[in-house]
Structure 1
Amino acid sequence: MTLRVAVAGASGYAGGEILRLLASHPEVDIGTLTGHSSAGLPLGRVQPQLSALADRTLAETSADTLHGHDVVLLALPHGQSAALAGQLGADTLVVDCGADFRLRDPAAWTHFYGTAHAGTWPYGLPEFPGARDELKGATRIAVPGCYPTAVTLALLPAHTAPLVEPEVVVVAASGTSGAGRTAKPHLLGAEVMGSMTPYGVGGGHRHTPELVQNLSLAAGEHVTVSFTPTLAPMPRGILATCSARLRPHVAPDGGLDEVREVFEAAYADEPFVRLLPRGQWPSTAAVLGSNTVHVQVAVDPAARRLICVSALDNLTKGTAGGAVQSMNIALGLPEELGLPVNGVAP
């Protein structure tokens, strides 16, 4: 099977990462590539790392330019996918890397995004219970946010077991590519280098309702999430440190054995999630350029809290890799096809 695949938003960071992966996918023929302000330019002007596609010309983003493809991957800012997807045929697989179709609660969408809710699509996190069945044969897929991917996979076994109470604290650091490619003064090199800063403090980050949604579904009850994201002086990567209070049945002394058994069972057959050996902690450098998530757990007996740490590449497993992984499942292809497991180091 050779699939004709188009990428809308190919000039951005997410679009460029999607193309890097698709260029190595044995079942993909890369079709139309679109941009916005860069329309009419050769791709190599804005994505010089993509040498094999450097001479391809970026088209305007419209339903007409995207028509006739088997798959359309949307790497657009939030609010732009819904109208475009509505103009594409039901027989076209549309995979949205934006936020438009992730949330189930219309009120949560309106509160955080300020517009009408466009609907909810099958959720492109294959590791979530039941997700693969929902993705098989789907023609519309919503890729999770990068922070929700990191946090959900860090905590998922703890809530499904359940090992922890439904109240979570998350502090996560992200590289600057998570903010997109648009020029912003606070993302200038002189502002970022040698400095870390929080943002979206006090529940204001737009990924917060997605975190609540995912963990609540896993736990089978409402989970509150205190989420503090921070900006780290690196181009890409997320390191998420998550903690929650242990339930009474988990003994804080020796409870780590029970916790590890739960996590080992949950991720034993997952191709892209690795529970690290005891004493080895996740690092963003180890997962750079890969579709792999590294996870580690610890128990703080004095505080009776479980600490779960994950690291991923926000542009690969956090966005583009999640999109390609979900695309593969939807089309009945091997899930790992075209996706790197190993990171790039040093």
Structure 2
Amino acid sequence: MKYRAAVAGATGYAGGELLRLLLAHPNIEVGAVTAARSAGSLLGEHHPHLVPLADRVVEPTDAEHLAGHDIVFLALPHGASGEIAARLGPDVLVVDCAADHRLADPAKWQHYYHSDHAGTWPYGLPELPGQRDRLAHTKRISVPGCNPTASTLALLPAVTAGLISCDDVVVVLATAPSGAGKKLATTYLASEIMGSATPYQVGGIHRHTPEMEQNLIACGAADPHVSFTPMLVPMTRGILATCTARLSDPSITADDVYAAYQKAYATEAFVHLLPAGVWPQTQATLGANIAHIQATVDPHTGRLVAIAAIDNLAKGTAGAAVQCTNLALGLDETTGLTTIGVAP
């Protein structure tokens, strides 16, 4: 069966990655491509690598141009999805790649995003306990943030197996500037980024912090507290998340941890546990809907150390959107997705 999909925000990085993946999907054909300021231009002006769609005219992002599709992907700035989604019918599968529908607590949304909460949709991280059942045949999907995806997958087996206490979780995460979208800002100029690593939103103010804690609760943590420090690094795509937490029992060994991760991820198509002693690299995940994971114990401090690498635009956004769309449509979860990275 073929489904017709529209992509709103098609000229941005996430929109472009969505279109790249959809062009390879055997069950989905690309319908309208829309944007705001770039409406009226040709898609090839923004994404010359998308040769089959280069001559498509970018339409305005409104309910009229998004109507008539089986699926609508929203790759819009935070705060813009709610209004558009509310005007789409209940029979349309709407997949929101922004943050508008991720948080369950309206108060936390208002605290971190400073606007009205648009509501909560099924959360698009299938690897969470019980989440595939919630995503199956749903008509609304909220795609996770790229940083929470990496940190959650790094910590999930340790939480579900009861190996760590989540009252003191520390996440230090290196991320590429493409995660911030295509907006023009001095911070993201090549002359500012090249040869430099820069922390930002330090001190618990990053908007992905409550999402990380929400995910740990979904894994079984009672009252998690996450200290999250992101760093902007000079690479185009990728995330490397280093996560640490206190062990629940000082007798837990690195072998215990590795065995728990093997058990948790044995059947996961899009999570790859590396051989013991081999650590994730962002270059290995480039263009792939895959997370590379490794974990061990620091016996000196009695802490777990877990590291995850993902492509922020693939498993971190567009790949996750397609993965969840497959579940909602009743397709094989892996349809149209690859775990094979591009190197060098």
Shorter-chain TM-score bucket reads over 0.9
User: Displacement, 1:256?
Assistant: 1.0
Amino acid across the alignment from 1:333: L
**Residue-by-residue CA offset, 1:200-248 (whole Å, 9 max, x unaligned):** 1000111011001111221340100000000000111000000001012
2: CA distance between counterparts of 1:38 and 1:328?
Answer: 29
Residue 70 of structure 2 corresponds to residue 93 of structure 1: no
**Residue-by-residue CA offset, 1:68-109 (whole Å, 9 max, x unaligned):** 100000000011000100000000000000000000001100
User: Displacement, 1:36?
Assistant: 1.1
Give matches, 1:325-340, under 5 Å.
Answer: 325-340=323-338
Number of residue-to-residue matches in the alignment:
343
Name the structure 2 match of 1:267: 265
2: CA distance between counterparts of 1:267 and 1:220?
Answer: 19
- Is the CA contact 2:128–2:218 (under 8 Å) kept in the aligned structure 1? no
Amino acid across the alignment from 2:57: T
Residue 149 of structure 2 corresponds to residue 149 of structure 1: yes
Name the structure 2 match of 1:320: 318
Amino acid across the alignment from 1:131: Q
Give matches, 1:69-218, under 5 Å.
Answer: 69-166=69-166, 167-218=168-219
What's the TM-score, normalizing by structure 2?
A: 0.99
Name the structure 2 match of 1:52: 52
- Is the CA contact 2:258–2:276 (under 8 Å) kept in the aligned structure 1? no
Q: Which segment is superposed worse, 211-220 or 4-13?
A: 211-220
> Matched residue of 1:311: which SS?
strand
2: CA distance between counterparts of 1:134 and 1:216?
Answer: 16
What's the TM-score, normalizing by structure 1?
A: 0.98
2: CA distance between counterparts of 1:309 and 1:217?
Answer: 20
Name the structure 2 match of 1:10: 10
2: CA distance between counterparts of 1:230 and 1:266?
Answer: 29
**Residue-by-residue CA offset, 1:43-68 (whole Å, 9 max, x unaligned):** 00011111111011100000000001
Moved over 3 A (4+): none
Name the structure 1 match of 2:304: 306
Amino acid across the alignment from 2:37: S
Name the structure 2 match of 1:242: 243
User: Displacement, 1:345?
Assistant: 0.2
> Matched residue of 1:297: which SS?
strand
1: CA distance between counterparts of 2:217 and 2:79?
Answer: 25
**Residue-by-residue CA offset, 1:124-164 (whole Å, 9 max, x unaligned):** 00000111000001000000000000000000111111100
Q: Which segment is superposed worse, 49-58 or 213-222?
A: 213-222
1: CA distance between counterparts of 2:194 and 2:296?
Answer: 31
Amino acid across the alignment from 2:33: L
2: CA distance between counterparts of 1:224 and 1:149?
Answer: 17
1: CA distance between counterparts of 2:57 and 2:112?
Answer: 36
Q: Structure 1: 5+ residue runs without aligned partners? A: none
> What's the % identity of the aligned pairs?
57
Across the aligned residues of Structure 1 and Structure 2, the Cα RMSD in angstroms comes to 0.7
> Matched residue of 1:100: which SS?
coil
1: CA distance between counterparts of 2:171 and 2:341?
Answer: 25
Name the structure 2 match of 1:225: 226
> Matched residue of 1:165: which SS?
coil
User: Displacement, 1:340?
Assistant: 1.2
> Matched residue of 2:219: which SS?
helix
> Matched residue of 1:164: which SS?
coil
